């Protein structure tokens, strides 16, 4: 068992409060600038359109100080482990050294997340580290895009790099560049990413040293510490307000496709609050799956921080102050603390989503009576969607990495938003169909809401999206997702959100569900692919939803008349659809709703549209929370 | 009779007018309250207040906030959208991203077209513009029928890949117009923005349709009012790109006139820089709720190809590149639960405003900090029309100081340091991080609060000079006076440089140029005309591009290669490296043509030099951190400072619409056009050096 140690209450500021605030803002601004630079000079649409990258500043002993505002939480949550490993491994740093590193077991998430790390020197010593991470669309291995659902070992995924000197004295270290280029697809494109990440590190160095020159080294070092202490103080202040006790929740991965019986994978946590002490215990999780679904300890920490930050958004940016205030307990060899060579490319769609969801559900129980606006049902699950091949017209190799936005989980005071990026990558974007069609041999046939896909409730989840396409050139497809059979949990009697779906040639005799764990499906010219995402989980009882809100969704053709009637108990007469003349039948609605309330025989379970039993048992309904008319008071995070 | 060129900037609160006498070069400025929701009355009031006769006015140009407001307040037309079958939620999904990583309480603002009014039609072209599915004309007629039943006033048409083949959209428009009649407006993405990326293009087109009926009615009312008043000349409208166009054109592309006020401000700042003989400036305008920063190099404002009215409403028309930060006079300072002093992002705005107004806000703001430190005079602040209560400001600051365990002066001064630091960061971003050396620029300060903060920002970045124009409150109107008539036209190219046939490029530019000449002929036949050509260029595979101005259309391989080489150089200047040709090829993304009808130069009349130093109105005790406390500081009145005046800081200059802070160690000079130039150099080696190298900034 491994735990992080929580310290006592943080000390007062070292710098004066004004200098502190100036520098705290400066650290954020530096990361934002470096992040913006990456966006402007990288190559892959994954990065330039999709924003799958991050920049952070860390102390010489590997504690996180700040990160970019639109960066990706899974990345930065692992940066402490990364730098701490680097510091252990490298005997001596020299100015101008730059390291490349992607090993998931010691410092990270999965092989595609390639970090470029620059030690920043002042006065002959390492003063800070800058990390710039980009998700490279390919780092080799048998599959286009490196995700390999059927891998049973990391050796069948992609190139794994310990910290390697990419630059020495700011001169590229050619053998290392060649080694990388020889082991990945479309290496030319990745050269641009390497430059971008390297330049981002230089920018952080330049800016940070500018502040050192102005304020003096000690002031900046103190500001690092003050920044962390400040976040820790804010966080503990919050925790003290919450009732002491233990809060538990369980969520499930669809299945371990590496085992013959393909069992679901259990993720369980127990959050314990005592005064301002926080422990999250993950030892109740299932053993590591055989296939690529779990993650190593650094990613567990990252996901726990992310779930926590969503409940306390005013703490952003994440830094070591929050990290050290949470004891994370896990057991080696479980699905959330896997060991080499258990594969991990699918960590994000697998364990990360579940840990995030469970963390938020645990905090939500502690928060619901204190501030119900911090209680959220689960959001769409990531699907890692990779295609590759040779473009029929240009003759060029291509690799594409995509994901699909879906429904946000309902909040205890409001609906979830539709077409919402996964909860942990709020800074990421979708990629335009028109850009994708130029690069890859497919025609998109839809970008439309998946009707009725929301988890239902007094507040419903957001709707999922279908982004279907026709193929006009042979393409290999690898998909590593989840939540096809386990929906994003609904809470307080709301239902789980709709499924992630991937079907080849729907409706045809050759219809085939490719599903969320597809290894190297070969799509042929003329194939039609139906690809749709989860709706968000619902909150509260559907028949307590305002009939007018149900009517609006029906008029917008997001919700069918049948679902409005059967699930929400709202009877709607369509007088003239062309003129948008729809009317609620009040008498019939009252009758239907009385019947639904008296006889709630909805199936309980974890499947899409079932009532999540734990969510139902552990969470109070809007009526009990006083949130039927919306948020009471200010919303957290709105001023952050 | 006088010959007056008149420019009017209609803001949410004030309508500013600047009239320039072409013969005497005299400038008249007027500020009157705006008259929402109609706004026209305010314009007519300003003309009357300025004492202008209809026959004297040779040109009328104006900028207006009405388009931006119509979007923000959702007061546009009832709008429908026709799009490709299957693509109904391109507009609603947007890019699916969020401004804040961890904030699950954030909600995007609702799209301008409700989902129910997004109708789809069977049709499809591919990425090269070949038709995959013919346009279903019956489907278009069916959509029209439904729009009619719903009382839709305006329709946007945006199909996938239409930037490569406009025919389906144009045919759709014809059918819709035929079915819906002339009272319903229709616009297509192919006409107004034939550029790749479906969401951004659709968003721009939808915003345009949403505004068409509103702006058309507004301009009709304005033109009618001016005609009835007796003016029969051109009525020109400023757009986001820092130019003007005719009222007719503006009615067709109203999304272009969003953002026109800030654009005018930047052009005005450039003009001020030119009058002080410093053509490269950073403009800094700080008002009640926010501060806008922009960079002008050698008289040319930086132009961005995309900006947003709101997080999820991008508009892809060229726009003056502004960075806006939430720091203004009304920005609130507070202490968070962790004991840290924070400044913003909440603002008390104009209402209730700073604590010193006593209108219900009790939290200290940036204005309260200035007042507490003696930098603002409660008697004369903002012309002295407001009832200012220094005791309320003090109370608010005292509460903050107690929480922080520091003196009131330290707390007030700290608020300003934090605000300055965030504005310095933003200035750094638009200059140093884009490859510009701030030591080669001057900072032009405007807005009610700008000249109070400008020196601190300039000192931090090594900017040697701060310029405060004579009328910093009407910089935007001044810019509008000067802007050229300008139309920006564009075609997608999307070919790699080495594969492109020169003929192809020549044909694209010829078409654009023909179109440009037609517009100029129609709107600007009596002006000097200019055509500017440019290409958007990027490494093949990248998303962002760089706009390169070109002197002539490249007619052969060598000319294309030269552009590729220039791109490499520019890229290296901005990013510090470039790619070899074996690593990355270069792609031409868009061809652009700007049709420009040159506006006559605005020349300012030099004023007589001062004889003898000015007398301060009085001395006031003002806090300066660098002096370690309060210093007796002379207070001057701006209108009494003649050309050639020289004053060493500390000093404060007051004028009706702003207050200029001249800290210790800096020197103020008034030039012959009555600009205040502050040499911020001392105490900063690099800045002092650059200041010494600065040409001709001395007064008469």
Q: Residues 198-227, chain B: which have Cβ within 8 Å of A?
A: 198-200
Taking contacts as CB-CB distances below 8 angstroms, the residues of chain B near A203 are: 433
If you average pLDDT over residues A380-387, what whole number do you get?
Answer: 95
pLDDT at residue B690 tops 50: no
Given the structure tokens 């599959």, which residue do they identify? Answer: A143
Q: Any bridge partners for residue B661, and if so which?
A: B652
pTM: 0.92
pLDDT at A635: 84
pLDDT at residue A310 tops 50: yes
Same domain, A48 and A142: yes
Q: Are strands B79-84 and B154-158 parallel, antiparallel or unpaired?
A: parallel
Same domain, A558 and A513: no
pLDDT at A282: 98
Q: Radius of gyration (Cα) for chain B, nearest Å?
A: 26
Same domain, A457 and A563: no
User: SS3 for A293?
Assistant: coil
Last residue of a domain, one of A190, A206, A230: A230
Percent residues over pLDDT 90 in chain A = 86
User: Taking a C-beta distance cutoff of 8 angstroms, is the pair A102, A185 a contact?
Assistant: no
Report the alpha-carbon angle A491-A495-A501, nearest 5: 120
pLDDT at residue A458 tops 60: yes
Last residue of a domain, one of B191, B212, B233: B212
Chain A within 8 Å of B105 (Cβ-Cβ)?
A: yes
Work out the mean pLDDT of chain A and round it to a whole number: 94
- Rounded CA gap, A133 and A55, in Å? 6
- The tokens for B412 are 């007030």
Q: What is the ipTM of this complex?
A: 0.94
Give how far Cα B221 sits from Cα of B215, B463, B522, Å.
10, 45, 22
Residue B129 is part of a domain; what is its CATH number?
A: 3.40.50
User: SS3 for B195?
Assistant: coil
If you average pLDDT over residues A83-100, what whole number do you get?
Answer: 97
CB-CB under 8 Å, B149 with A231:
no
B601 confidence band (pLDDT: 50, 70, 90): confident
Could you read off the pLDDT of A358-383 as tens digits, one per residue?
Answer: 999 999 999 999 999 999 999 999 99
pLDDT at residue A306 tops 70: yes
pLDDT at B682: 46
Flag whether A242 is in a domain. Answer: no
Mutate to test the interface with A, among B86, B87, B92, B105 (most CBs of A within 10 A): B105
If you average pLDDT over residues B18-37, what whole number do you get?
Answer: 89
Neighbours of A428 (CB within 10 A): 27
pLDDT at residue B329 tops 60: yes
Could you read off the pLDDT of A402-415 as tens digits, one per residue?
Answer: 899 999 999 999 99
Structural domains in chain A (count): 3
Neighbours of B541 (CB within 10 A): 21
The alpha carbon of residue A415 and the mean position of all alpha carbons in its chain are separated, in whole angstroms, by 20
Q: Which domain holds residue B676?
A: 451-472+606-693
Q: Any bridge partners for residue A66, and if so which?
A: A57
Give how far Cα B292 sits from Cα of A619, B284, B429, Å.
46, 6, 13
Mutate to test the interface with A, among B80, B90, B101, B582 (most CBs of A within 10 A): B101
Same domain, B462 and B521: no
If you average pLDDT over residues A476-484, what whole number do you get?
Answer: 96
SS3 content of chain B, % helix, strand, coil (to 5): 35, 30, 35
User: Taking a C-beta distance cutoff of 8 angstroms, is the pair A373, A385 a contact?
Assistant: no
Flag whether A113 is in a domain. Answer: yes
User: B54, exposed or middle or buried, with CB in 10 Å at 0-12, 13-18, 19+?
Assistant: middle
Q: Which of these ranges, A26-35, A43-52, B680-689, has the smallest mean pLDDT? A: B680-689
pLDDT at residue B73 tops 90: no
Q: Any bridge partners for residue B18, and if so which?
A: B7, B29
Q: Which of these ranges, A505-509, B206-210, B376-380, B650-654, has the smallest mean pLDDT? A: B376-380
Could you read off the pLDDT of A54-73 as tens digits, one per residue?
Answer: 999 999 999 999 999 889 99
Report the alpha-carbon angle A87-A88-A89, nearest 5: 95
pLDDT at residue A5 tops 70: no
Mutate to test the interface with A, among B338, B423, B571, B588 (most CBs of A within 10 A): B338
B118 → chain A, closest CA residue: A556
Per this entry, what is the length of chain A?
640
Nearest to A434 among B95, B196, B404 (CB): B196
Same domain, A482 and A589: no
- Rounded CA gap, B177 and B157, in Å? 12
Same domain, B530 and B646: no
Could you read off the pLDDT of A509-522 as tens digits, one per residue?
Answer: 989 999 999 988 99
Give how far Cα A448 sits from Cα of A497, B159, B311, Å.
17, 14, 21
Same domain, A87 and A196: yes
pLDDT at B610: 67
Mutate to test the interface with B, among A11, A13, A20, A22 (most CBs of B within 10 A): A22
User: SS3 for B258?
Assistant: coil
Flag whether B662 is in a domain. Answer: yes
Q: Which of these ranges, A116-120, A446-450, B566-570, has the smallest mean pLDDT? A: B566-570
Flag whether A341 is in a domain. Answer: no
pLDDT at residue B687 tops 70: no
pLDDT at A11: 58
Helix (H) / strand (E) element for B487: namely strand B485-496
- Rounded CA gap, B268 and B476, in Å? 6
SS3 content of chain A, % helix, strand, coil (to 5): 35, 20, 45
Flag whether A98 is in a domain. Answer: yes
pLDDT at A1: 41
- Rounded CA gap, A452 and A370, in Å? 33
Percent residues over pLDDT 70 in chain B = 96
* DSSP symbols for B585-607: -EEEEEEEEEEEEEPPPP-PPPP
If you average pLDDT over residues A304-331, what whole number do you get?
Answer: 96
Taking contacts as CB-CB distances below 8 angstroms, the residues of chain A near B99 are: 69-70
CB-CB under 8 Å, A580 with B101:
no
Chain A within 8 Å of B353 (Cβ-Cβ)?
A: no
CB-CB under 8 Å, A408 with B199:
no
The alpha carbon of residue A509 and the mean position of all alpha carbons in its chain are separated, in whole angstroms, by 36
Of A45 and B674, the one with more pLDDT: B674
User: Taking a C-beta distance cutoff of 8 angstroms, is the pair A409, A376 a contact?
Assistant: yes
Same domain, B572 and B501: yes
pLDDT at B694: 37
Taking contacts as CB-CB distances below 8 angstroms, the residues of chain B near A525 are: none
Nearest to A556 among B90, B116, B429 (CB): B116
B123 → chain A, closest CA residue: A445
- Asked if omega into B345 is within 30° of 0 (cis), the reply is yes
What string of H, E and C letters represents the secondary structure of A203-220? HHHHHHHHHHHHHCHHHH
Q: Which of these ranges, A78-92, B13-27, B500-514, has the smallest mean pLDDT? A: B13-27
Same domain, B496 and B583: yes
Given the structure tokens 């001392």, which residue do they identify? Answer: B682
Last residue of a domain, one of B598, B617, B644: B598
Q: Which domain holds residue A577?
A: 543-599
Taking contacts as CB-CB distances below 8 angstroms, the residues of chain B near A189 are: 541
Flag whether B152 is in a domain. Answer: yes
Give just the sign of the alpha carbon dihedral B223, B224, B225, B231.
Answer: positive
Could you read off the pLDDT of B552-565 as tens digits, one per residue?
Answer: 999 999 999 999 99
Q: Which residues contact B276 (CB under 8 A, 6 or more apart)?
A: B442, B467, B671, B673, B675, B677, B697
Closest CA to B368 of B336, B345, B398, B342: B398
Flag whether A237 is in a domain. Answer: no
Same domain, B584 and B647: no
- Rounded CA gap, A321 and A239, in Å? 14
pLDDT at residue B686 tops 50: no
Same domain, B88 and B200: yes
Same domain, B99 and B161: yes
The secondary structure of residue A611, as a DSSP letter, is: B
Nearest to A419 among B93, B106, B575 (CB): B93
Scored b (16 or more CB within 10 A) or e, A211-238 reads: bbeebeeebbbbbbbbbbbbbbbbbbeb
Of A634 and B194, the one with more pLDDT: B194
Residue B524 is part of a domain; what is its CATH number?
A: 3.30.1490
pLDDT at B383: 64
Same domain, A589 and A480: no
Q: Which of these ranges, A4-8, A429-433, B87-91, B393-397, has the smallest mean pLDDT? A: A4-8
Neighbours of B692 (CB within 10 A): 10
User: Taking a C-beta distance cutoff of 8 angstroms, is the pair A441, A523 a contact?
Assistant: no
CB-CB under 8 Å, A557 with B115:
yes
Per this entry, what is the length of chain B?
700
φ, ψ (nearest 5 deg) of residue A229: -60, -40
Given the structure tokens 């510009």, which residue do they identify? Answer: B436
Same domain, A532 and A579: no
If you average pLDDT over residues A143-156, what whole number do you get?
Answer: 92
Report the Cα–Cα distance between both ends of chain B, in Å, rounded: 31
CB-CB under 8 Å, A43 with B149:
no
Given the structure tokens 């422990």, which residue do they identify? Answer: A279
pLDDT at residue B581 tops 90: no
Flag whether A368 is in a domain. Answer: no
User: SS3 for A525?
Assistant: coil
Dihedral over alpha carbons B407, B411, B416, B421 (to 10 degrees): 110
- Rounded CA gap, B424 and B461, in Å? 7
Could you read off the pLDDT of A170-214 as tens digits, one per residue?
Answer: 999 999 999 999 999 888 878 888 999 999 999 999 999 999 999
Last residue of a domain, one of A191, A206, A230: A230
Greatest Cα pair distance in chain A: 80
- Rounded CA gap, B542 and A47, in Å? 10
If you average pLDDT over residues A484-503, what whole number do you get?
Answer: 98
Q: Residues 381-410, chain B: which have Cβ within 8 Å of A?
A: 404, 406, 410
User: Taking a C-beta distance cutoff of 8 angstroms, is the pair A95, A113 a contact?
Assistant: no
Structural domains in chain B (count): 3
Taking contacts as CB-CB distances below 8 angstroms, the residues of chain B near A39 are: 544
If you average pLDDT over residues B690-694, what whole number do you get?
Answer: 38
If you average pLDDT over residues B258-269, what whole number do you get?
Answer: 88
Could you read off the pLDDT of A459-471 as tens digits, one per residue?
Answer: 999 999 999 999 9
pLDDT at B639: 87
Last residue of a domain, one of A230, A253, A268: A230
Flag whether B655 is in a domain. Answer: yes
Could you read off the pLDDT of B84-141 as tens digits, one per residue?
Answer: 999 999 999 999 989 888 999 999 989 999 999 999 999 999 999 999 999 999 999 9
pLDDT at residue A578 tops 60: yes
Given the structure tokens 């998303």, which residue do they identify? Answer: B543
Same domain, A399 and A529: yes
CB-CB under 8 Å, A51 with B339:
no
User: A180, exposed or middle or buried, with CB in 10 Å at 0-12, 13-18, 19+?
Assistant: buried
User: Taking a C-beta distance cutoff of 8 angstroms, is the pair A535, A465 a contact?
Assistant: no
pLDDT at B34: 86
Flag whether A303 is in a domain. Answer: no
Same domain, A458 and A532: yes
User: Taking a C-beta distance cutoff of 8 angstroms, is the pair A428, A421 a contact?
Assistant: yes
Same domain, B135 and B151: yes
User: Taking a C-beta distance cutoff of 8 angstroms, is the pair A357, A488 a contact?
Assistant: yes
Of B486 and A569, the one with more pLDDT: A569
Greatest Cα pair distance in chain B: 82
Neighbours of B146 (CB within 10 A): 17
CB-CB under 8 Å, A17 with B198:
no
Same domain, B610 and B594: no
Of A29 and B170, the one with more pLDDT: B170
Same domain, B573 and B651: no
Q: Are strands B651-655 and B629-637 parallel, antiparallel or unpaired?
A: parallel
Taking contacts as CB-CB distances below 8 angstroms, the residues of chain B near A44 are: 541
| CB-defined contacts A:B, below 8 A | 244
- Rounded CA gap, B614 and A125, in Å? 55
Same domain, A499 and A572: no
Same domain, B118 and B179: yes
Flag whether B564 is in a domain. Answer: yes
- Rounded CA gap, B264 and B270, in Å? 10
Flag whether A317 is in a domain. Answer: no
pLDDT at B382: 65
User: Taking a C-beta distance cutoff of 8 angstroms, is the pair A111, A292 a contact?
Assistant: no
Q: Which of these ranges, B375-379, B413-417, B604-608, has the smallest mean pLDDT? A: B604-608
Characterise A475 by phi-psi region: left (phi > 0), alpha (psi -120 to 50), beta (else): beta
pLDDT at B384: 67
Neighbours of A392 (CB within 10 A): 12
Could you read off the pLDDT of B412-445 as tens digits, one per residue?
Answer: 999 999 999 989 988 988 888 777 889 999 999 9
If you average pLDDT over residues A43-52, what whole number do you get?
Answer: 80
Q: Are strands B235-239 and B243-246 parallel, antiparallel or unpaired?
A: antiparallel
Flag whether B62 is in a domain. Answer: no
Work out the mean pLDDT of chain B and round it to a whole number: 90
Closest CA to B435 of B317, B308, B323, B295: B295
Q: Any bridge partners for residue A266, and if so which?
A: A252
Same domain, B466 and B529: no
Same domain, A43 and A175: yes
A418 → chain B, closest CA residue: B93
Same domain, A615 and A558: no
């Amino acid at each position: 068992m491994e735990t992080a140690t929580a310290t006592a209450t943080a000390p007062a500021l070292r710098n004066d409060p004004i200098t502190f605030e100036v520098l705290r803002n400066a650290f954020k601004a530096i990361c934002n600038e470096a992040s913006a630079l990456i966006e402007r000079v990288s190559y892959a649409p994954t990065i330039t359109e999709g924003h799958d990258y991050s920049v952070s500043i860390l102390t010489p002993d590997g504690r996180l100080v700040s990160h970019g505002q639109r960066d990706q939480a899974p990345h930065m949550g692992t940066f402490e482990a990364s730098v701490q490993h680097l510091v252990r491994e490298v005997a001596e740093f020299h100015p101008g050294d730059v390291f490349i590193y992607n090993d998931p077991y010691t410092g990270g998430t999965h092989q595609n997340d390639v970090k470029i790390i620059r030690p920043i020197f002042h006065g002959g010593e390492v003063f800070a580290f800058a990390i710039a991470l980009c998700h490279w669309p390919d780092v080799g291995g048998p599959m286009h895009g490196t995700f390999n659902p059927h891998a049973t070992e990391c050796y069948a995924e992609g190139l794994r790099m310990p910290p390697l000197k990419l630059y020495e004295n700011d001169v590229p270290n050619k053998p290392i560049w060649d080694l990388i280029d020889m082991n990945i697809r479309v290496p030319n494109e990745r050269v641009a990413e390497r430059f971008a990440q390297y330049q981002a590190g230089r920018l952080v160095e330049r800016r940070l040293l500018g502040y050192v020159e102005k304020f003096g080294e000690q002031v900046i070092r103190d500001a690092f510490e003050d920044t962390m202490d400040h976040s820790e103080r804010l966080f503990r202040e919050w925790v003290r307000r919450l009732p002491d006790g233990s809060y538990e929740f369980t969520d499930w991965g669809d299945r371990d496709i590496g085992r013959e019986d393909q069992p679901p994978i259990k993720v369980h946590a127990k959050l314990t609050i005592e005064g301002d002490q926080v422990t999250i215990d993950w030892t109740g999780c299932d053993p590591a799956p055989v296939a690529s679904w779990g993650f190593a300890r650094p990613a567990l920490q990252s996901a726990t921080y992310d779930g926590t930050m969503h409940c306390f958004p005013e703490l952003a940016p994440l830094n070591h102050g929050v990290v050290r205030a949470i004891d994370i307990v896990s057991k080696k060899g479980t699905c959330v603390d896997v060991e080499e060579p258990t594969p991990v490319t699918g960590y994000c769609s697998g364990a990360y989503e579940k840990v995030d969801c469970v963390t938020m559900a645990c905090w939500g129980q502690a928060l619901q009576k204190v501030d119900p606006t911090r209680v959220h049902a689960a959001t769409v699950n990531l699907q890692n969607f990779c295609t590759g091949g040779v473009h029929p017209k240009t003759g060029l190799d291509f690799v594409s990495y995509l994901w699909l936005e879906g429904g946000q989980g309902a909040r205890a005071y409001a609906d979830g938003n539709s077409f919402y990026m996964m909860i942990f990558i709020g800074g990421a974007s979708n990629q335009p169909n028109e850009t994708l069609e130029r690069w890859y041999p497919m025609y998109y046939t839809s970008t439309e809401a998946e009707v009725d896909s929301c988890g239902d409730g007094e507040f419903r989840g957001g709707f999922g999206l279908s982004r279907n396409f026709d193929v006009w050139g042979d393409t290999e497809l690898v998909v590593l997702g989840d939540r096809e059979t386990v929906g994003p949990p609904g809470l307080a009697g709301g239902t789980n959100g709709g499924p992630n779906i991937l079907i080849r040639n729907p409706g045809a005799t050759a219809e085939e569900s490719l599903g969320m764990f597809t290894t190297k499906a070969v799509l042929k010219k003329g194939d039609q692919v139906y690809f749709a995402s989860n709706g968000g989980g619902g909150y509260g009882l559907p028949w307590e939803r305002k009939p007018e809100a149900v009517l609006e969704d029906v008029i917008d053709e997001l919700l069918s008349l049948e679902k409005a009637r059967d699930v929400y108990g709202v009877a709607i007469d369509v007088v003239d659809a062309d003129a948008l003349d729809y009317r609620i039948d009040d008498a019939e609605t009252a009758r239907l709703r009385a019947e639904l309330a008296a006889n709630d025989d909805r199936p309980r379970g974890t499947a899409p549209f079932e009532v999540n039993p734990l969510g139902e048992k552990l969470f109070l309904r809007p009526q009990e929370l006083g949130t039927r008319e919306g948020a009471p008071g200010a919303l957290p995070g709105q001023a952050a | 009779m006088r010959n007056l060129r008149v420019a009017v900037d209609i803001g949410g609160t004030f309508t500013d007018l600047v009239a320039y006498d072409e013969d005497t070069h005299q400038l008249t400025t007027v500020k009157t309250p705006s008259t929402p929701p109609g706004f026209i009355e305010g314009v007519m009031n300003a003309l009357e207040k300025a004492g202008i006769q209809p026959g004297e006015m040779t040109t009328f140009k104006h900028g207006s906030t009405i388009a931006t407001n119509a979007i923000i307040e959702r007061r546009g037309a009832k709008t429908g959208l026709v799009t490709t079958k299957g693509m109904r939620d391109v507009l609603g999904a947007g890019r699916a991203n969020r401004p804040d990583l961890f904030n699950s309480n954030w909600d995007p603002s609702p799209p301008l077209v409700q989902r129910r009014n997004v109708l789809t039609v069977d049709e499809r072209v591919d990425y090269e513009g070949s038709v995959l599915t013919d346009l279903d004309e019956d489907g278009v007629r069916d959509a029209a029928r439904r729009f009619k039943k719903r009382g839709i006033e305006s329709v946007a048409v945006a199909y996938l890949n239409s930037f490569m083949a406009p025919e389906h959209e144009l045919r759709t428009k014809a059918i819709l117009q035929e079915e819906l009649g002339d009272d319903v407006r229709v616009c297509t993405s192919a006409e107004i923005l034939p550029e790749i990326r479906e969401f951004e293009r659709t968003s721009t087109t939808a915003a345009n349709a949403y505004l068409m009926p509103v702006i058309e009615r507004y301009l009709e009312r304005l033109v009618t009012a001016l005609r009835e008043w007796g003016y029969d000349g051109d009525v020109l409208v400023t757009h986001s790109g820092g130019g003007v166009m005719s009222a007719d054109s503006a009615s067709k592309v109203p999304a272009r006139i969003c953002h026109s006020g800030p654009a005018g401000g930047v052009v005005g700042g450039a003009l001020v820089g030119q009058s002080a003989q410093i053509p490269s400036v950073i403009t800094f305008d700080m008002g009640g709720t926010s501060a806008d920063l922009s960079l002008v190099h050698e008289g040319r404002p930086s132009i961005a190809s995309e900006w947003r009215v709101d997080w999820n409403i991008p508009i892809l028309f060229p726009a003056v590149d502004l960075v806006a930060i939430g720091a203004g006079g009304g920005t609130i300072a507070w202490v968070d639960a962790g004991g840290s002093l924070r400044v913003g992002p909440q603002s008390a705005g104009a209402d209730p405003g700073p604590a010193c107004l006593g209108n219900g806000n009790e939290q200290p703001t940036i204005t309260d900090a200035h007042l507490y430190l003696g930098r603002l005079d409660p008697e004369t602040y903002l012309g002295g029309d407001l009832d200012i209560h220094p005791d309320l400001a003090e109370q608010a600051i005292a509460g903050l100081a107690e929480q922080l365990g520091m003196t009131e002066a330290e707390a007030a001064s700290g608020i300003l340091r934090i605000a300055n630091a965030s504005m310095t960061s933003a200035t750094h971003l638009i200059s140093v991080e884009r490859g510009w050396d701030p030591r080669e620029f001057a900072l032009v300060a405007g807005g009610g609060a700008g000249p109070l903060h400008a020196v601190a920002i300039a000192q931090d970045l090594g900017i040697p000079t701060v310029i405060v124009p004579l009328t910093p409150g009407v910089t935007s109107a001044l810019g509008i006076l000067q802007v050229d008539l300008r139309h920006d036209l564009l075609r997608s190219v999307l070919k790699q440089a080495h594969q492109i046939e020169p003929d192809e490029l020549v044909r694209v530019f010829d078409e654009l140029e023909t179109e440009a000449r037609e517009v100029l002929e129609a709107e600007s036949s009596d002006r000097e005309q200019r055509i500017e050509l440019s290409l958007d260029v990027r490494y093949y595979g990248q998303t962002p591009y760089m706009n390169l101005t070109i002197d002539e259309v490249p007619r052969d391989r060598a000319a294309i290669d030269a552009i590729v080489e220039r791109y490499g150089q520019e890229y290296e200047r901005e990013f510090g490296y470039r790619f070899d040709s074996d690593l990355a090829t270069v792609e031409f993304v868009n061809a652009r043509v700007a049709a420009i009808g040159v506006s006559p130069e605005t020349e300012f009349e030099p004023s007589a030099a001062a004889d003898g130093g000015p007398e301060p109105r009085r001395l006031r005790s003002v806090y300066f951190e660098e002096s370690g406390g309060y210093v007796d500081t002379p207070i001057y009145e701006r209108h009494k400072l003649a050309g050639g005046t020289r004053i060493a800081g500390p000093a404060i200059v007051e004028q009706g619409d702003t207050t200029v802070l001249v800290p210790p160690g800096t020197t103020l000079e008034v030039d012959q056009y009555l600009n205040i130039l502050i040499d911020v150099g001392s105490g900063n080696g690099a800045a002092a050096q650059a200041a010494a190298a600065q040409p001709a900034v001395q007064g008469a």
